[in-house]
Chain A
Amino acid sequence: AQKVTQAQTEISVVEKEDVTLDCVYETRDTTYYLFWYKQPPSGELVFLIRRNSFDEQNEISGRYSWNFQKSTSSFNFTITASQVVDSAVYFCALQVSGSARQLTFGSGTQLTVLP
């Protein structure tokens, strides 16, 4: 069975601070994929990134960066110079290869960026 843990339920930062959202996953599959989705107050789920288990290269996209470490089963997400518009719930999710491709979500981290 798959499991995703986001230990941080809520985080508050002041605008322009950097913030890291933690994600730890469990799976026995050797091929799997990790995702981050953003859920703003409007409710939709917005895809941010996908990473496969064979690619531990970190990725940067603008103010967003992701650190994937198989040794610790972690896929952390950092927002640099946070902005008020970053306020949302962020979900980490796991998908295993060969399954019907559904995602197993973590419980989410509510990020509040204060002006």
Chain B
Amino acid sequence: AAGVIQSPRHLIKEKRETATLKCYPIPRHDTVYWYQQGPGQDPQFLISFYEKMQSDKGSIPDRFSAQQFSDYHSELNMSSLELGDSALYFCASSPVLTGTSGANVLTFGAGSRLTVL
């Protein structure tokens, strides 16, 4: 079965540089989530999109931005990188639900490991 695809898997950047992470959700999943997991930490919610519109925002720095495109893939753009941005970045996707009841099971990608030197 198709899974969530993230690229690149590994990325090394210098301080103050810019990085872009890409996420391709599971087909027919139209909600995408971004999470950041620092070393030894639990995943922290950054931002989510439903039908290409931002649906919720978590602890995403102002230096970061994200969007979801017409083909449902999403990109996380990170500028003015800091050492503290070094982390594993997960993308997850879930299928649409009608109404507000029911639970979306989030399927996670393998993650993109960003190292800022």
Contacts and interface: CB of A to CB of B under 8 A. Distances in A.
A91 B42 contact: yes
A105 B42 contact: yes
Contacts of A43: 88, 110-111, 113
Nearest to A53: B103
Interface stretch (B17-25, B43-51, B65-73, B77-85): B43-51
Nearest to A107: B42
B94 interface: yes
A61 interface: no
B42 A101 contact: no
A74 to B, nearest CB: 18
B58 A102 contact: yes
**Contact-size category for B:** 20 to 34
Given A47-B105, A50-B103, A101 B48 contact: yes
Interface of A: 31, 33, 35, 37, 42-47, 50, 52, 91, 95, 97-108
Interface string B7-50: 00000000000000000000000010100000001111100101
A100 B55 contact: yes
Contacts of A102: 33, 45, 48, 56, 58
B100 A97 contact: yes
A31 B101 contact: yes
| Majority-rule SS of A interface residues | loop
A23 B92 CA distance: 22
Interface of B: 31, 33, 41-45, 48, 50, 55-56, 58, 88, 90, 92, 94, 100-111, 113
B4 to A, nearest CB: 10
A11 B94 CA distance: 31
B103 A33 contact: yes
Contact of B43 (A45, A47, A97): A45
A81 to B, nearest CB: 27
B33 A50 contact: no
B55 to A, nearest CB: 4
A78 to B, nearest CB: 21
Contact of A97 (B31, B50, B88, B101): B101
B110 A103 contact: no
